[in-house]
């Protein structure tokens, strides 16, 4: 099951690996395993992910570090993950769809927030 966890103020995405009394071991997308309290786990809504076409312009959460960068989908894998090529030339394979968002949608959301800030500042 895909989850989000926060460890010492940093957010990570991953998969529950092992469950113990009061805590879980989470295999994070940055290839590190972290043990966290069960209360600190946020379950991800799988229904919110969408299928992406090869060549789609997206933003992706680089290595699950909650930092989003512009990328292009370079391949869709049989396991449902994606290979990405970032605009700076870096590549990342086997990226789960919940770490990818449509670039145009993300920009619209940012512009909407900017409009609210500008409106607030002018009043």
Place of tokens 């989000």: 4
- The tens place of each residue's pLDDT in the chain, 123 residues long, gives 777 777 777 777 888 888 888 888 888 888 888 888 877 777 665 544 556 889 989 998 888 777 889 999 999 988 888 999 999 999 999 888 878 887 766 554 454 434 434 334 444
Q: Does residue 45 contact residue 60 with C-beta atoms inside 8 Å?
A: no
- The pTM assigned to this predicted structure is 0.54
Quote the pLDDT of residue 35.
87
């Amino acid at each position: 099951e895909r989850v989000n966890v926060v460890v010492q103020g940093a957010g990570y995405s991953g998969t529950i690996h092992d469950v113990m009394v009061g805590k879980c071991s989470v295999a994070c997308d940055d290839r590190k395993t972290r043990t966290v309290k069960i209360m600190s786990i946020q379950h991800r809504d799988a229904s919110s992910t969408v299928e992406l076409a090869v060549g789609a312009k997206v933003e992706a959460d680089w290595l699950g570090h909650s930092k989003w960068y512009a990328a292009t989908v370079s391949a869709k894998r049989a396991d449902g993950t994606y290979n990405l090529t970032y605009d700076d030339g870096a590549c990342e394979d086997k990226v789960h769809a919940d770490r990818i968002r449509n670039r145009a949608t993300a920009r619209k959301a940012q512009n909407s927030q900017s409009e609210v800030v500008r409106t607030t500042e002018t009043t």
